[in-house]
Every structure is written in C-alpha cells, then in structure tokens.
Amino acid sequence: MSGCWNPGVPGPPPQGFSHWLVFLLFPVCPSPQPSPTPGRCHVRDAMGLPPLGLLLSLCCVSGLPFYNGFYYSNSPHGWNPGKGHGEGIFNGVKLVVETPEEILFSYRGANVTLPCRYHYEPAVVSPRPVRIKWWKLSENGAPEQDVLVAIGLRHRAFGDYRGRVHLWQEREREVSLEIRDLKLEDYGRYRCEVIDGLEDESGLVELELRGVVFPYQHPQGRYQFNFHEAQWACEEQDAVVASFEQLFRAWEEGLDWCNAGWLQDASVQYPITQARHPCGGLGLAPGVRSYGPRHRRLHRYDVFCFAAALRGQVYYLEHPEKLTLAEAKEACQEDGAQIAKVGQLFAAWKFHGLDRCDAGWLADGSARYPVAHPRRNCGSLEPGVRSFGFPDPHSRKYGVYCYRPR
C-alpha cells in the first residue's frame, strides 16, 4: 500500500478506506504539481488547500458526521453515535462493541465498573491485536478528556485518572473500565472505543452520581453571582454547578424554588412545582422554567449546586454554650473534625436522614438546620434544610454542624 493517495488518478482509494478517515491517514497528492522532494507528497489537496482547511470545509457539508477529529461515512455499518453497541464490517467480519443502555448510578468515593465488551460476527478464532481507548465526552463546552489507552498488556492513564483507573478484563474480549474513588467531576458520558487495524467501533456508557441539588445565594443577597463566581461558590461548598438533568430530576422529586440560578451549561433556570404569581404567574404549568443561556461574565443570578452523597459524617456538636462563627470553627477542630459545608449538610440530610431542630453555623457563615421529619415548632411542614441566612458572625451565636471524613 502506497504512502499517499492521489484523488486525480482513476480508481478507488486503497482497500479498506470506506471511511473519510483517508483524509487524515493519507496525505493527498496534488495532480498538476510535481513534488519538490522525490518520493514524497505535498500534504495538500487538489485545490491547494491543506488537509485542515479541507476538513474545516467538510464540516459544513450536510450528511458527513464529524466526531473526535474524524469523518465517517453514512453507511448502515458506519459509526454508531448512540448508546448500546456499535458495529462495523471489514473483510466480511463485523466488529461489534457492546455497552449498557441504562445509566449507571454510583456514589462519590465508591468504585465503579463501566461495562464494555466486543466480539466479531462471525466469530474469529485466532486472536487479533486491538487498541482500546476510553475517554470522557465533552459536557457543556468542557474539553474531552482522555482516560485510558491500552495496547495488549500496556496501559496508560491520563490526567486526574492516573492511579484510579484500569481495564477490567475478567472475560475474553472484555475491556470494561474500573474507576476507583469516584470524584464529583467523574460523572458524565464515557466512550469505549475498540480499534482493529483501520476499523474502529465504540459504545457509550453514562455515569451519574447519587446526590442532591440545592439552591445557593451570595451572602449579600439574591442575584450576585456571574457564572464563574457561581462555579467557585459551589466548589467552596463541596459541590459543583448542577446540570440541567440533575435539576430536572430534583424538580421531579419536588424541588420548588422561585429564584433563577446558573446551571452547568451557563443557562439560567428555576424549578416550579406549584404555579403562583411571583414565579411566572398562574397561567404557566409547573416545570423547569428557563431564561436561556446568559452571558457568563456580565449577567448575575443565584446558582443551583449539586452535592454527592458523603462517605464521612455530619453531626450537630453538643456544646454547653452557643458560639460565634470563629468559636464554632474552633470547637469542631477540638472535636477532631471541621466545620461542615452547605453541600455536606444537604447530603447528610438527603442520604443519612440528618434531622435536627437546632440552627448551627456552617463554613460559609450561614446558619442552617436539617429537618427530615417535619414537626411543630421546627419550620415548615415540608422536609428540607432551613436557613437563617448569614447572621453577623461576631455578635450572633448558634450551635455548629461539624464534618468528620472517613
């Protein structure tokens, strides 16, 4: 097989090039111009455009799917962008990659295995060398992340996944990905790609963490965060900015909040379960209402944060006296813990049933208390985390909620 393909010469491209991948793997020789270096080709197309220009122009042509830097044909056996499995045919043999269609749920700090297997139809008796690649797909403008690449017994992990991922190969042609000590940022969609020579097929696995969505305001009041400040605010509370899917799931579970807040895709939305005049009026049906995408730097709103289930313990510190904020932080440290963050309190309420009718300081300077079993003299008749806002940290005294990691 030659090192380049001249589209001006009659005849098809080299055998096996059913995909548009030929533009990336083979330099294109211009027909009318001789190469200045014998035996080598200009990396330019017949129109004088470099391959990058050609690819960029192709992205505007309808019917040519673009993914991960490669163009693929629209043949019935081409790349399958959806969940489940992908399949491709080469030399009469079909390569099939299988992944689960259902969403996988797990917890922060846990270990999880993302299933992926491949096989050939008809079955191939002799073993074939393949290359395995796992990566995390981009979400809301974030770049794709390489997770792991494997060729035979050689594996390489990337970035924050180093030391936390490896291939799980319990059965023949199983190439599942195990992720240990799950982090908040690990949720999302992962692609398992199997590459056999010039053919590659892939499947999608979606991972979601068990968690709780909560609205968060600036200490100075509503609508104070631009998008970047909102991201920082959630991180300070041991959380991340919630995705639309997470907010929608929280709305289905009963979250009702009339203040609009940032989401992970830089849109601004708010969930309403009971229509009322101050929240869009009575004429609109319940649902997640949207302001659409907003300017990340100029516009200011509240934010919806997502906190994952905890491995540690949040507890109300029994103390003989009420405390200022500084005294509260010191008291938790003396107890071998640290003052709890808002996301930790919400997670303890949601997943551990933390129920206490005493207001306590949190790390951000707010005073709150969790109620899992509503009762008289303990706020409203709905379960939730009640807030006293941000009292003066020097003159006001409360109890304190502490967090002890495990």
Q: What is the pLDDT of residue 128?
A: 85
Within-domain flag for 57: no
Q: Could you read off the pLDDT of 369-389 as tens digits, one per residue?
A: 999 999 998 988 899 999 999
Q: What is the pLDDT of residue 71?
A: 26
Is it the case that residue 33 has pLDDT exceeding 60?
A: no
Q: Are 396 and 324 in contact (CB under 8 A)?
A: yes
Q: Which domain holds residue 278?
A: 211-307
Say if residue 238 is in the same domain as residue 298.
Answer: yes
Beta bridge partners of 221: 218
CATH number of the domain residue 275 falls in: 3.10.100.10
Q: Are 19 and 71 in contact (CB under 8 A)?
A: yes
Say if residue 296 is in the same domain as residue 314.
Answer: no
In order, the DSSP letters of 171-234 are STTB-EEEE-S--GGG-EEEEEEEEETTEEEEEEEEEEE-EEEEEE-BTTBSS-B-HHHHHHHH
pTM of the full predicted structure?
0.71
Q: For residue 108, how many other CB atoms are within 10 A of its CB?
A: 21
Is it the case that residue 284 has pLDDT exceeding 90?
A: no
Name the pLDDT band for 27 (thresholds 50, 70, 90). Answer: very low
Q: What is the pLDDT of residue 29?
A: 38
Within-domain flag for 40: no
Q: What is the pLDDT of residue 167?
A: 93
Q: What is the pLDDT of residue 271?
A: 97
Structural domains in the chain (count): 3
Number of Cα atoms under 13 Å in the Cβ half of residue 252: 6
Q: What is the pLDDT of residue 49?
A: 37
Name the pLDDT band for 53 (thresholds 50, 70, 90). Answer: very low
Beta bridge partners of 213: 306
Say if residue 176 is in the same domain as residue 281.
Answer: no
Residues 23-36, mean pLDDT to the nearest whole number: 38
Say if residue 191 is in the same domain as residue 98.
Answer: yes
Say if residue 358 is in the same domain as residue 320.
Answer: yes
Is it the case that residue 60 has pLDDT exceeding 50?
A: no
Least confident of 63-67, 217-221, 297-301: 63-67
Within-domain flag for 279: yes
Q: What are phi and psi of 53, to 5 degrees?
A: -65, -40
Q: What is the pLDDT of residue 14?
A: 43
Q: Could you read off the pLDDT of 3-13 as tens digits, one per residue?
A: 444 444 444 44
Say if residue 319 is in the same domain as residue 218.
Answer: no
Q: What is the pLDDT of residue 11?
A: 46
Q: Could you read off the pLDDT of 61-109 as tens digits, one per residue?
A: 333 333 332 222 233 333 333 445 565 555 678 899 999 999 999 988 8
Number of Cα atoms under 13 Å in the Cβ half of residue 269: 27
Within-domain flag for 54: no
Say if residue 317 is in the same domain as residue 303.
Answer: no
Within-domain flag for 84: no
Nearest CA to 269 out of 282, 283, 281, 279 is that of 279
Say if residue 155 is in the same domain as residue 226.
Answer: no
Is it the case that residue 141 has pLDDT exceeding 90?
A: no
Q: What is the pLDDT of residue 50?
A: 41
> Of residues 242 and 170, which shows the higher confidence score?
242
Q: What is the pLDDT of residue 124?
A: 83
Domain boundary (307, 326, 350) is at: 307
Say if residue 391 is in the same domain as residue 332.
Answer: yes
Q: What is the pLDDT of residue 185?
A: 87
Domain boundary (242, 274, 307) is at: 307
- Run of H or E residues at 3: none
Beta bridge partners of 205: 190
Tokens of 62: 């309808």
Q: What is the pLDDT of residue 280?
A: 82
CATH number of the domain residue 199 falls in: 2.60.40.10
Within-domain flag for 396: yes
Least confident of 81-90, 259-268, 291-300: 81-90
* Average pLDDT of the chain, as a whole number: 82
Q: Is 334 helix (H, G, I), strand (E, B) or coil?
A: helix
Domain boundary (209, 242, 259) is at: 209
Q: What is the pLDDT of residue 54?
A: 38
Within-domain flag for 18: no
Say if residue 291 is in the same domain as residue 205.
Answer: no
Say if residue 203 is in the same domain as residue 105.
Answer: yes
Within-domain flag for 196: yes
Q: What is the pLDDT of residue 87?
A: 55
- Residue 393 to residue 140: CA distance in whole angstroms: 37
Say if residue 228 is in the same domain as residue 333.
Answer: no
Is it the case that residue 205 has pLDDT exceeding 80?
A: yes
Beta carbons within 8 Å of 104's beta carbon, 6+ residues apart: 112, 114, 205, 206, 207, 208
- Residue 140 to residue 231: CA distance in whole angstroms: 13
Burial class (CB in 10 A: 0-12, 13-18, 19+), 91: exposed
